Amino acid sequence: MNHWQVHLLLASFCVFSVLGQSSDGTTMSGGNTASAGGKYQPLPLHIPPFNVSDYSGINDDEQCMLYLEGLSVVVMDNLDKSNLKFAQIDIRAGDAEWDYAKDDVLCPTNFTQGPYKFTIRLKTTRELNGNSTDDSKTPAIRIASGTSFSFTISLNTTLDLFWKLGGAIVGSDPLQVQGLKDPFSTAGTMVAKSRVFSLETAGINGVYGRGWACSLTQAFWFNTGTDHYFIGIMLYNTQIQLTGINSTADANCKGCHYFMQQVDDCVGTFSPGSWMGIISALVMVAGLMFGYVMLQSVQTIDLFDDPKHKQIVINVRE
């Protein structure tokens, strides 16, 4: 039964290497209305903007940090609840720039004094069009080039050392999305309003004292003031840590700020991707085992064996 054990071991190696792969993707390098500096920086955004020469007066003792590579903006028309309409615009590096104003980041040093706040300010650098789910040919929504907008997310702490998205409010320059094609054109220009919902289901939550990263969150939704039209915002490739980014202990890099190595991913270990890996690994291992067991059970024919027959003698010349 030894080879069975070897196979089991092999199978578990496969499974664990797949698991390891999926949890590896975790690490990514790294409502105020105060007027911003207008010194726009290329994405990715990181606030507080430590070591960005355009911004002065950053408190180097600040203990929290947000990193963000982009947003996905979704517009929903839920007039017909059984046939929801969506259109999406992806804002990625090159599509927008970010800015920072004093007090855009609120990092209480005492965890009980939450919420923690981050204000995200973006300005599009080109016209961004979004297609709807049922027509990928003609753009259904648009964010004009040069549109600047801001919103603030609040991360509420809970007494059991967790944090979660507890609020999202638009700034004095709310996001505006133009509807170009039915059903979005009837709404005209949709403006995000601060009545927000789906905070709890956006999946933005973590453990205090650990890092948190996400490749794409679920959307949290803003009202637009127009019935049954809503603007949702998803954070793309983001990382948040609420405490401990000040590396006082690092003698090689005094004054550096970076995320810790303990990072939780918003995608659980058993994501659809890892299941795909696990199942294909198991199928392959099953095939291997089947082949091996089949070969093991092959018996050579002994029908013509004649033990009484004179043995063949081979003379070896020296």
Ligand X SMILES: *[C@@H]1O[C@H](CO)[C@@H](O)[C@H](O)[C@H]1NC(C)=O
Q: Interface residues with ligand X (CB under 6 A)?
A: 51, 60-61, 110, 112, 115, 131, 136-137, 154, 156, 166-167, 199, 246, 248, 254-256
Nearer to ligand X, 249 or 301 (CB): 249
Name the β-bridge partners of 46: 67
* Residue whose C-beta lies closest to ligand X: 166
Helix H or strand E segment including 29: none
If we measure between CA atoms, which residue out of 216, 126, 229, 144 comes closest to residue 185?
Answer: 229
CB nearer to ligand X: give 27 or 156. Answer: 156
CB of 213 to ligand X, least distance (A): 21
Say if residues 43 and 92 touch (Cβ distance below 8 Å): yes
> What is the closest distance, in whole angstroms, from the C-beta atom of residue 54 to ligand X in the complex?
12
CB of 256 to ligand X, least distance (A): 4
Q: Contact, 99 vs 151, CB < 8 A? A: no
Closer by beta carbon to ligand X, 189 or else 248: 248
* Other beta carbons within 10 Å of 140: 28
CB 168 within 8 A of CB 149: no
CB 241 within 8 A of CB 259: yes
**Residue 154 Cβ vs ligand X, minimum distance, rounded to whole Å:** 6
Q: Please, which residue, 24 or 61, has the CB nearer to ligand X?
A: 61
Measured from the CB atom, the residue of 254 and 317 that comes closer to ligand X is 254
Query: Which lies closer to ligand X via its Cβ, residue 76 or residue 281?
Result: 76
Q: Shortest CA distance to 141 belongs to which of 93, 175, 102? A: 175
Q: Name the token pair of 160.
A: 């059991």
> What's the closest the beta carbon of residue 216 comes to ligand X, in angstroms?
14
Nearest approach, Cβ of residue 175 and ligand X (Å): 18
Helix locations, 25-117, DSSP H: none
* Terminal-to-terminal C-alpha distance of the chain: 44
In angstroms, the Cα distances linking 20 to 14, 61, 270, 273 are 10, 35, 11, 12
